[in-house]
Amino acid sequence: MIRLVGILTGLVFAFVALLAFVTGAYTFFTEPTEETAEHAFHMEAHLPTGGYTFDGLAPQWDVAQLQRGYKVYKEVCSACHSMNHVAFRDLEQLGYSEAQVKAEAAAWQVPGIDPVTGEANLRPGLPTDYFPAPYANNTAAAAANNNAIPPDLSLMTKARHHGTAYVYSLLTGYRDPNSYTNEEGETLAQAFPDSMPGTGLHFNPWFANLNLAMAPPLHTAGQVTYDDGTEATVQQMSADVAAFLTWTAEPSLVDRVRLGWMVMGFLIFLTILAYLAKKSVWSQLKTRRDD
């Protein structure tokens, strides 16, 4: 009796699951999809003209670009965004000397403990410290940014699809919703008036829901002065900081690809060696059989 009840119960669940699948499939194929503002205006991320040196089959870091990107982060992005997974000593990988890293770390104020009183304080950073967060906690971050918490940027390019292109497109993608049009030539206000940016929001067709709480962080040419004399256009600064954030997310990217090529070469060599060994062994067996 118990076995029969179990079988009947399983059949009921199987029938319900099959019915739900058939109903969902029928709805999917028969009901038209309602067009949304995100679908009509959202744009695919793109890279700057010329791309990056770390793309492709033989990647390499452009150290000068990474240093420029760090400068953009330090002078612009760090006012709101943390980088909790990157230590000051990691900057040595960008070509900075040990003395430069110490000086750079000391220029930042990091949370510490007074050894005399035991109270929390701020002290100059050490190379072993990680980049400090600009806010004490998420509550303070939200209060200072229109109730939006700026995300940590350490792994941002790994957390987003086509992360490097996403960061570059987002930073250069702020538009006027009254002038930016879709394929039908309609502005956002004409096509989807309810999707217009609200108070404190900014229209950006490269952002998932089009409306972004972050104001354009890079908005003026020369906002950052590069040490190597490179012209700091908005596009250049965006490309540089996107490259820098690619490095923070995956500093071993270039070494990993190079190691991959070495492994592939070894496997190809091993395959050829195994094939020749097989030919040699079977040729001897064939000779013996013929004899």
Residues in CB range of 189: below 8 A, 6 or more apart = 177, 178, 196
Residue 214 and residue 204 in contact, taking contact as beta carbons nearer than 8 Å: no
Sign of CA dihedral 83, 108, 247, 172: positive
Q: Taking the domains of the chain in order of start, what are their residue ranges?
A: 1-31, 40-86+131-251, 258-291
Q: Lowest-confidence range among 26-30, 36-40, 67-71, 237-241?
A: 26-30
pLDDT at position 264 is: 95
Helix (H) or strand (E) holding 112: strand 109-113
pLDDT interval class at 284 (50, 70, 90):
confident
Residue 255, CB-side half-sphere exposure with 13 Å CA sphere: 5
pLDDT tens, position by position, 80-113: 999 999 999 999 999 999 999 999 999 999 998 8
**Could you give the CA distance from residue 103 to residue 117 in angstroms, rounded to a whole number?**
27
pLDDT at 210: 92
In the predicted structure, residue 4 carries a pLDDT above the cut 80: no
Q: Please give the CATH number for the structural domain made up of 40-86+131-251.
A: 1.10.760.10
Residue ranges for the known binding site are 77, 80-81, 214
Summarize the annotated binding site for heme c as residue ranges: 77, 80-81, 214
How many Å is the Cα radius of gyration of the chain? 28
Q: Are the C-beta atoms of residues 204 and 213 closer than 8 Å to each other?
A: no
pLDDT at 285: 67
Query: What is the C-alpha to C-alpha distance for residues 25 and 28, in angstroms, rounded to an integer?
Result: 5
Q: What percent of the chain has pLDDT over 90?
A: 64
d(CA 138, CA 120): 19
> What DSSP designation does 55 have?
S
Cα angle value 84/87/88 (rounded, 5°): 130
- Which structure tokens are listed for 208? 């998932």
Q: What average pLDDT does the structure give for the chain?
A: 90
Q: Please, is 243 exposed, middle or buried when counting C-beta atoms within 10 Å of its C-beta (0-12, 13-18, 19+)?
A: buried
Average pLDDT over residues 185-208: 89
Rounded mean pLDDT, 134-149: 92
Q: Which residues contact 81 (CB under 8 A, 6 or more apart)?
A: 73, 134, 150, 151, 152, 153
